[in-house]
Amino acid sequence: MRDLRSGATSAPAALLGAARALQPRTVALRRLLHRHPEVGLRLPHTRDAVLAELADLPLRIHLGRDVTSVVAVLDGGRPGRTTLLRADMDALPLQEESGTDFGSATPGTMHACGHDLHVAMLASAARLLCERRAELPGRVVLMFQPGEEGHHGARHMIDEGLLDRHGPGGRPDEAFALHVSATMQSGELHTRPGPIMAAADVLRVTVTGRGGHASAPHHAVDPVPAAAAMVGALQTMITRRVDTHDPTVLTVSRITAGTTDNVIPETAELVGTLRTMSEPVRRAVRTEIERVCTHTALAHGCTAVVEVERGYPVTVNDPAATARLADVGRRLLGDTRVCTMPTPIMGAEDFAYVLEKVPGALAFLGACPPGTAPHEAAPNHSNRVRFDESAMPAGVALYAALGMR
């Protein structure tokens, strides 16, 4: 199909060719964002860079009130549905060691999860969609989101009315997001219907005993053995109380106790993460965690305060939306470049909040660096991760094609 006003076509090959022609612009924005990463819900530099990139396009712009989100709305020239496309914008608190010549200029902060690529791809997709506005059916809502890395940015945007009928673009009929992966073959699209990413909760346990001299533990109540016993008891609980067909991961990632070698501390603290793939299992395991920790503490003469902080829900892809996404991917990239994931992954993603309310799908776009086998590449969230920028035209074209559908 051809936009008679602009001369632009929306055929798959044409979209991919147009995305490749925009590659210098896409790369420039990506590297600007990578050079100046920001963490959390307030990303003023990133927001301003996005606004500057979109400034010459016929978009209705809406800015977040409490967070630095950007929502850009494109009204098409034909009646149709409303499609939401998401790009997350925030970085991670890591010291970059990737060796790129456009590395982070902000000490202790790095775009280690590829969100800089997501923003650049969606901004260039907006340009392709605007060029095809006359033939665009319905409306496209571009969601540039802060605070994905544990800050519940999508939930904040939803609370500000993003998905409401009277929101910036009205209530979307469907929603899509792409996420780059350094450990998947560059240019491949990986997705699956149903659960694709886990729910993530934070576990904190404070064990309280009675402090004393380390040479006389019989005059104290040592919380350290109780905390150590809890680690093993929790892992046993997972294997004994959860069906092996229900993926569940519980990791105690930090144990903190004491100040010096000759003092038995009064308290010890465990911190960890719980990952589950269904709400019933999530609720059941939370109950079991409290039971195990409380009774293990009592067996050692201690007490325990157990807190399981509710995090992101399970990311669940709508089967029909996933099929549409895969179909678009096959037409753009070829049949062999679209892969159905056999199992979900245990990472978490706050696009789950959107998919709880709107049918849609998340997919992974491979961006393994050239000359590196995927299994040998530094993964997302590594301070040494590198992404293949040549995968970005595929992401730009995918976003644009999903908007055109």
What number of CA atoms fall less than 13 Å from residue 149's CA on the CB side? 21
CB contact set of 216 (below 8 Å; sequence gap of 6+): none
Catalytic center residues: 312, 389
Of 83, 186, 95, the residue nearest 142 (C-alpha)? 83
Cα 253 to Cα 270: distance, rounded to the nearest angstrom:
8
pLDDT over 70, % of the chain: 98
**What's the longest Cα–Cα distance across the chain?**
87
> In the prediction, which pLDDT does 379 show?
97
Q: What is the pLDDT of residues 77-102, one digit of tens each?
A: 999 999 999 999 999 999 999 999 99
CA–CA–CA angle 27, 31, 35 (5° rounding): 175
> In the prediction, which pLDDT does 272 show?
97
- 3-state SS class at 70: strand
Q: What is the pLDDT of residues 321-351, one digit of tens each?
A: 999 999 999 999 999 999 999 999 999 999 9
- b/e string for 254-273 if b means 16 or more Cβ within 10 A? ebebbeeeeebbbbbbbbbb
Residues of the chain with CATH 3.40.630.10: 12-196+314-404
Cα 319 to Cα 173: distance, rounded to the nearest angstrom:
14
Tokens 């590196």 -> residue = 372
Q: Domain 12-196+314-404, what architecture?
A: 3-Layer(aba) Sandwich (3.40)
> In the prediction, which pLDDT does 12 show?
77
Q: What is the pLDDT of residues 109-138, one digit of tens each?
A: 999 999 999 999 999 999 999 999 999 999
The answer to whether the CB of 242 falls within 8 A of the CB of 285 is yes
Q: How far is CA 142 from CA 86, 128, 146, in A?
A: 6, 13, 13
**Mean pLDDT in the chain?**
96
Render 312-374 in DSSP notation, one character per residue: ---EEE-HHHHHHHHHHHHHHH-GGGEEE-SS-BS---TTHHHHTTS-EEEEEEE-PPTTS-G
CATH no. for 199-309: 3.30.70.360
* pTM score above 0.75: yes
CB contact set of 111 (below 8 Å; sequence gap of 6+): 33, 34, 37, 91, 92, 104
Residue 185 has pLDDT above 90, yes or no: yes
Cα 38 to Cα 27: distance, rounded to the nearest angstrom:
18
Of 21, 23, 18, the residue nearest 7 (C-alpha)? 18
Residue 36 has pLDDT above 50, yes or no: yes
Render 312-329 in DSSP notation, one character per residue: ---EEE-HHHHHHHHHHH
Cα 391 to Cα 359: distance, rounded to the nearest angstrom:
26
